[in-house]
Amino acid sequence: MKKTSTRLADGRELIYYDLRDDRVRDAVDRRPLERTHTTSEIRRDPLLGDSIAVASHRQGRTYHPPADECPLCPTRGERLSEIPDSSYDVVVFENRFPSLAGDSGRCEVVCFTSDHDASFADLTGEQARLVLDAWTDRTSELSHLPCVEQVFCFENRGPEIGVTLGHPHGQIYAYPFTTPRTALMLRSLAAHKDATGGENLFDAVLERELAGDRLVLEGEHWAAFVPYAAHWPYEVHLYPKRRVPDLLALDEAARTEFPQVYLELLRRFDRIFGTDEPPTPYIAAWHQAPFGALAEFDGVVRDDFALHLELFTIRRTSGKLKFLAGSESGMNVFINDVPPERAAERLREVASS
């Protein structure tokens, strides 16, 4: 992998990740952009104890542009975009309309391929490995920023999810706090460790799922399963079999196998509802241990946390979506229409031949 960092016309950082070491990246951003100005602010809810970001400048962000005006395609001729070069393998750049900025963190965009009509599932194993390497590199770099406590790599896919740019891409949020969902995991981890005299909860969950009927696919170094208490109609958790706290700690064997397992999982997601349905909308979310202090979680250290990816869709059946209505949005109590065991069975049924 070759990494080349440059600057866009408004001062934002852009990084090329190339498969070939001889690629030269010296294209200049020719757009007449002024410096970006953001209004991101973090506010803490005194009743719930969590934090939210207020980012009013995002109201003006690009919204469903036509394909020939996509800002994530390469620059070609006088068609200028966020990527100055005429081609790329993987690109990461600072979001022009970030939810988090300055002392409030950082937001980045990850373009998986220059092919506008592709999806992550269309990538080759070599391309998917390059994306993994880019996620890992960005996790490392962002973790060293003074304000950053947790790094979150994720992909939103499909207009049903709320995606406003059709080009295959994901995002990275570098939060200045430990996110509420991670804090819940850490509290459960601490309680289980205390109650069992030191047993790791993530290890216990993975051991149970490997032996159960919700296992979807398994490699030598990775395992994917539908969790016992899945919140979403089709939800899969992907774990490395050797517990590590973050992407940085994955060994070479796990990195090598990851593209094979993950691409197969994504391709199965696209077959859940049959070939006549539009591509399955999904969210793919990496959960990594925070880089900040864990003193509030009694007895827990970073290495107790287990890196894993959660992949889920809001489509519950053909032509129907799962909406977060009163119980989910008002009380955070999910009601799942698809039994997890049936979801796992379906994901095994659609395995590629």
One-letter amino acid of 245: P
The answer for residues whose C-beta is within 8 angstroms of residue 342's C-beta and 6 or more apart is none
pLDDT value of position 352: 65
Look at residue 83 in the predicted model and tell me its pLDDT: 98
User: How many angstroms separate the CA atoms of 193 and 173, rounded?
Assistant: 29
For residues 110 and 189, what is the distance between their CA atoms, to the nearest angstrom? 31
Given this model, what pLDDT does residue 318 score? Answer: 92
SS3 per residue for 299-328 = CCCHHHCCCEEEEEECEEECCEECCCCHHH
The total number of residues written for the chain in this structure: 353
Secondary structure in 3-state letters for the chain: CEEEEEECCCCCEEEEEECCCCCCCCCCCCCCCCCCCCCCEEEECCCCCCEEEECHHHHHCCCCCCHHHCCCCECECCECCCECCCCCCEEEEECCCCCCCHHHCEEEEEECCCCCCCCHHHCCHHHHHHHHHHHHHHHHHHHCCCCCCEEEEEEEECCCCCCCCCCCEEEEEEECCCCHHHHHHHHHHHHHHHHCCCCCHHHHHHHHHHCCCCEEEECCCEEEECCCCCCCCEEEEEEECCCCCCHHHCCHHHHHHHHHHHHHHHHHHCCCCCCCCCCCCEEEEEECCCCCCCCCCCCCCHHHCCCEEEEEECEEECCEECCCCHHHHHHCCCCCCCCHHHHHHHHHHCCCC
pLDDT digits (tens, 9 = 90+) for 176-197: 999 999 999 999 999 999 999 9
Closest of 213, 20, 186, 12 to residue 102, by C-alpha: 12
Active site residue 169: yes
Residues of the chain with pLDDT under 50: 353
Tell if the pTM clears 0.85, that is, is over it: yes
Distances (CA, A) of 4 to 18, 34, 35, 50: 8, 23, 22, 37
pLDDT at 61: 66
Specify the pLDDT at position 203: 98
Strand partners, 174: 106, 151
Active-site annotation holder among 57, 64, 116, 169: 169
pLDDT score at 116? 96
Q: State pLDDT tens for residues 244-266.
A: 999 999 999 999 999 999 999 99
The token pair at 350 is 């659609």
Angle, helices 125-143/252-269, rounded to nearest 10 degrees: 120
Are 174 and 100 a contacting pair, CB within 8 Å?
yes
Q: What is the pLDDT of residue 220?
A: 98
pLDDT at 63: 62
> Do β-strands 234-240 and 106-111 pair in parallel, antiparallel, or remain unpaired?
unpaired
CA distance 237 to 234: 10
